[in-house]
Structure 1
């Protein structure tokens, strides 16, 4: 069954609030969704496949960013404000250490440094079109789209000034089948690991990545 939408404006959310301010104030804690053109779009429960992939990516990115002191990684309950009528909750997002000032108590001001969306049957069009265009418009430097059903991973980098409007996403090339992130400096992996069944150990892969960067390690 669909989950209930946030409550209408109340004494805690005065009418003069923008749709985004009302969304942040009233959207139930712990529920995942997006604000699209002033309307709350609530995600249904995720599949086991989606959740496994989410945890895998979160462990890899969070562990790498923490080990290298690059910034903070958040998972799917942190809203990024796009404008007065739009706010997105990426499955995973990253903010560089020198830009953590964009964080507030309940959300982040756009643009974050990396947004990752794991496509589900109910979110495909939103992730590939609406949110793609929104992330591009506000200047998010890097956007990953991972589709576990189609077994596809696409990585986009902003062709233009990071954090500024006017850039265009271009597909980021792989080098020898390996993707290297421009947003999370030094983070690299083979996207095909995302579609292994079962997934490999995220901790083992993270350890291997970190050890490969140590001086004297080939």
Structure 2
């Protein structure tokens, strides 16, 4: 019922959304549009299967979503398998038509990425001389309950904004967005309005295709267009002493000296930047308990910053991978919160969901047997670690150590208190125990543990 891996890979290469994850009005926005979010959700569902999504919400909610999403009759009586049979019979008459989804052009990303890297490197070399600091796409700028990831931000970490471990809270002194085809409305209208309302002092839009730059300066609460001065330089009011030469962006690469910044120039130094940040929510800081319902549920900023992985979009063994396996799971959950399950089920044929529900029910009925097999593997892994690495204290966390059943995303997580000098050798040592199981090794270092891991160690650890 899913396209073959080669087709999925071709679709991924030709139509994947731009790799950024933002929070706007409680929705996870991928690649600057809600369409990009929906496209990525479908690509994850096709690659990982409906059962990956079904593991993250109650079975009753999936029934409700299928009935509402495909206008199916709600089964009233009988066992859960009998109800699935009724749904399957009713769904057989449905002619599924895939949605037409496009997230803008992906054919002209090289100029976008080249310009972004040049700007980041040029400004990074000079920013401290004008009393600020610059960061690129992987860092979040928090504006209220929204989280944006501009191509480049320059900030002073005082007054308007405060730097935390994982995000900048408040408007930066300068924000730069590099426009991609199909994303113009988001950059020119949506983000411009949010940046203006929040107080971002300077907003620049760079269009590589047209080789044009639009400069906007906040004046009495409104963005006013600006032009470079007669010498060809633009001098942002929010960074006195800094000058920008637009023509440097359009020079041929052979005309540039890579190690010398030429787009930005410091005309007058104004003191160094104080590199300090406050503690705050970051990856894994909040327990992963997504509130996935039939209808959309807004995300709060703390959930977004805690659950969002690095926006590194890859495709491995027929599946999209967003940062990591846990990162992909988290993105899937946040996308289902964004759309709700009634809308989510429309991305795959109803038969896919019914099959996935059957697989979950059958797995839960065999849970005791499966856990017994997993415990055998966990003990074998512990024996190998002790004999080869002299590890003393070991334990297990996760669904295997809890009362709840195993699910699609479950793995064997072995907790160890002794640091392994060569952890990769430990993974090699355990690789042949069971090719169908994921074995994860977790070193107890509180500085790196997520809230979920700490909570499980405190409450559900089983010593081996």
Query: What is the TM-score of this pair, normalised by structure 1?
Result: 0.72
Could you tell me how far apart the structure 1 residues matched to 2:164 and 2:124 are? 19
Q: Equivalences for 1:144-163 in 2 at 5 Å?
A: 144-160=204-220
Q: Tell me how far 1:130 sits from its aligned partner.
A: 0.3
Matching of residue 117 in structure 1 with residue 180 in structure 2: no
The SS at the match of 1:115 is strand
1:82 to 130, 136, 143: 143
Matching of residue 182 in structure 1 with residue 237 in structure 2: yes
Instruction: Indicate the larger mover: 110-119 or 200-209.
Output: 200-209
Q: Equivalences for 1:1-218 in 2 at 5 Å?
A: 1=12, 32-43=20-31, 47-66=109-128, 68=129, 70-84=131-145, 86-99=146-159, 102-160=162-220, 167-176=221-230, 177-198=232-253, 200-201=256-257, 203-206=259-262, 209-210=265-266
Structure 1 contact 65–72 (Cα < 8 Å) conserved: yes
Per-residue CA distance 1:149-179 (angstroms, 9 max, x = gap) = 111101111102xxxxxx0011123111221
* Aligned residue pairs, count: 179
Q: Tell me how far 1:194 sits from its aligned partner.
A: 1.4
Structure 2 unaligned regions, length at least 5 = 1-11, 32-102, 270-464
* 4+ long deviations beyond 3 Å: 97-101, 205-210
Instruction: Indicate the larger mover: 151-160 or 35-44.
Output: 35-44
Higher helix proportion, which one? 2
Structure 1 contact 65–184 (Cα < 8 Å) conserved: no
Could you tell me how far apart the structure 2 residues matched to 1:109 and 1:154 are? 25
Coordinate RMSD, CA, aligned: 2.7
Structure 1 contact 33–89 (Cα < 8 Å) conserved: yes
Could you tell me how far apart the structure 2 residues matched to 1:103 and 1:208 are? 23
Structure 1 unaligned regions, length at least 5 = 5-30, 161-166
The SS at the match of 1:54 is helix
Could you tell me how far apart the structure 2 residues matched to 1:183 and 1:158 are? 10
Structure 1 contact 144–154 (Cα < 8 Å) conserved: yes
Per-residue CA distance 1:82-119 (angstroms, 9 max, x = gap) = 222x2211100011153596112221112111111011
Per-residue CA distance 1:114-136 (angstroms, 9 max, x = gap) = 11101111321111110011000
Instruction: Name 1:164's counterpart in structure 2.
Output: none
| Cα distance change, pair 131–92 in 1 and its aligned pair in 2 (3 A) | same
Q: Tell me how far 1:202 sits from its aligned partner.
A: 5.1
Could you tell me how far apart the structure 2 residues matched to 1:188 and 1:209 are? 5
| Cα distance change, pair 145–115 in 1 and its aligned pair in 2 (3 A) | same
Could you tell me how far apart the structure 1 residues matched to 2:183 and 2:239 are? 25
Could you tell me how far apart the structure 2 residues matched to 1:173 and 1:101 are? 26
Structure 2 contact 116–178 (Cα < 8 Å) conserved: yes
Instruction: Name 2:50's counterpart in structure 1.
Output: none
Instruction: Name 1:24's counterpart in structure 2.
Output: none
Q: Tell me how far 1:3 sits from its aligned partner.
A: 5.9
Query: What is the TM-score of this pair, normalised by structure 2?
Result: 0.35
Could you tell me how far apart the structure 2 residues matched to 1:129 and 1:79 are? 20
Instruction: Name 2:443's counterpart in structure 1.
Output: none
Structure 2 contact 196–222 (Cα < 8 Å) conserved: yes
